[in-house]
Chains A and B, each alone.
Chain A
Amino acid sequence: MTGPGPGTDAGSGTLAYDETGRVRFHASSVADRNQPVFDAEWQRRAFGLAVALSEFGHYPWEDFQRELIASIGSWQDAPDDARGRWEYYQHWVTALAAVIARHRLLDDGYVNPEDRRRPIRPGSR
């Protein structure tokens, strides 16, 4: 999973530019053959989970997005030698865990949106 350059392993650390610093797309990224979107099933399921929970009203998408931006931002702000290889979906998983915790989806007593008749905690969103 550590392809060294273009034409190898899209999405798992291969940067969108080649050894000379020029931007170059992975061969699969042109002419609409922009797959694979996911390198592994866990990435696909992480994506599906985050979207599904938002679509079914467990949190507004913006709340997930805020966590994603925070995780990506902290990676980008870290020194080169203090951060791991860029892996987009690891940020996605971090954000997913954070938004699930923040909205207490796994707490005892959590009530699904479709079962809520009135706000459970006045003042909360």
Chain B
Amino acid sequence: MSEPFSYPDDREEASAAQVRALEALLIEKGVITSTTVDKVLGYFESEMTPLNGQKIVARAWVDPEFARLLTSDTPTAIAQLDLPEGMTGAEGEHIAAVANEPGVHNIVICTLCSCFPWPVLGLPPYWYKDPVFRARAAREPRAVLTELGVPLSEDTEVRVWDSSGHSRWFVVPTRPAGTEGWTEGQLAELVTTESMIGVALAKQPSAT
């Protein structure tokens, strides 16, 4: 990946100027107000975080009926929990969960852009949007998972879920052994964003 010359920062400055100009024009024309963008960003940054996903997974681990509903009708299942309002906004109506099970490991990518279940996982990490990651995870998910520290046995099936405008997937990781009798709050601590994308397993009890 050689880069013969570094690209001048004016490309970055041009993008920044373009965004400022667009927002200013939209405000001037009355399409939005001067607080619209801050309100939306504030909601994203305070309410749409992986804490929601952690609570959902923890409930699925202790409640088999909820777990079944979560994978068959994800928005209905999520609506049963006491999560911030607006879980069905911002594309939340397209959220769909898939569960790891013995012999099956799920991984979520978006091959064309960066679709992500914002309401339950927040904004995607930078690597999720990276062209190399997106291409390799689609082409050789098993190799990528091994490199990330999730070596899977040959008889474990890897299912790759390509998120899109119609389905924004997240993974319910396998509940770690040794957590019998744990509360949902304790269990939620074991659920990382990476495990809900499928590039990691849930944390082991000893690791917390």
Question: CB-CB < 8 A to B4: which residues of A?
Answer: 81
Q: Is the CB of B131 within 8 A of A76?
A: yes
Q: Which of A2, A100, A112 contacts B22 (CB 8 A)?
A: A100
Closest to B42 in A: A48
Given A34-B125, A85-B7, verify A90-B148 contact (CB < 8 Å). no
| Binary contact track B97-124/A, C-beta < 8 Å → 1, others 0 | 0000000000000001111000000111
Provided the pairs A42-B20, A65-B165 are in contact, do residues A85 and B3 lie with their beta carbons within 8 angstroms?
yes
List the B residue with the shortest CB-CB distance to A23: B147
Mask, A29-45, CB within 8 Å of B = 1, is: 11110100100111011
Can you name 16 A-B residue pairings with CB atoms under 8 Å? A15-B132, A31-B203, A32-B50, A40-B12, A42-B16, A44-B41, A48-B37, A48-B40, A52-B36, A52-B40, A81-B4, A85-B7, A90-B11, A100-B26, A105-B29, A106-B26
Task: Assess whether B192 is interfacial by the CB under 8 Å rule.
Answer: yes
Count of A-B residue pairs with CB < 8 Å = 156
Judged by a CB distance under 8 angstroms, whether B31 is at the interface is: yes
A96 CB to closest chain B CB (Å) equals 7
Q: Which of A16, A69, A81, A90 contacts B127 (CB 8 A)?
A: A16
Indicate if the CB atoms of B193 and A68 lie closer than 8 Å.
Answer: no
A59-86: CB near B (< 8 Å → 1, else 0) gives: 0011001001100110110000100111
Looking at the complex, which one of A26, A55, A68 makes contact with B126 (CB distance below 8 Å)? Answer: A26
B81 within 8 Å of A (CB atoms): no
- A23-B148, A93-B18 known; A15 vs B113 contact (CB < 8 Å): no
Chain A residues near B (Cβ < 8 Å)? 1-2, 10-11, 14-17, 22-26, 29-32, 34, 37, 40-42, 44-49, 51-53, 55-56, 58, 61-62, 65, 68-69, 72-73, 75-76, 81, 84-90, 93, 96-97, 100, 105-106, 110, 112
What chain A residues lie within 8 Å of B1 (beta carbons)? 15
Q: B1-22: which residues lie under 8 A (CB-CB) from chain A?
A: 1, 3-4, 6-7, 9, 11-12, 15-16, 18-20, 22
New A-B contacts (9) at CB < 8 Å, excluding given A17-B133, A23-B136: A1-B9, A23-B148, A26-B126, A69-B113, A76-B131, A85-B7, A88-B114, A97-B18, A110-B29
Residues of the B chain whose Cβ atoms lie less than 8 Å from the Cβ of A69: 112-113
- Inter-chain contacts of A51 with B (CB < 8 A): 40, 44, 90
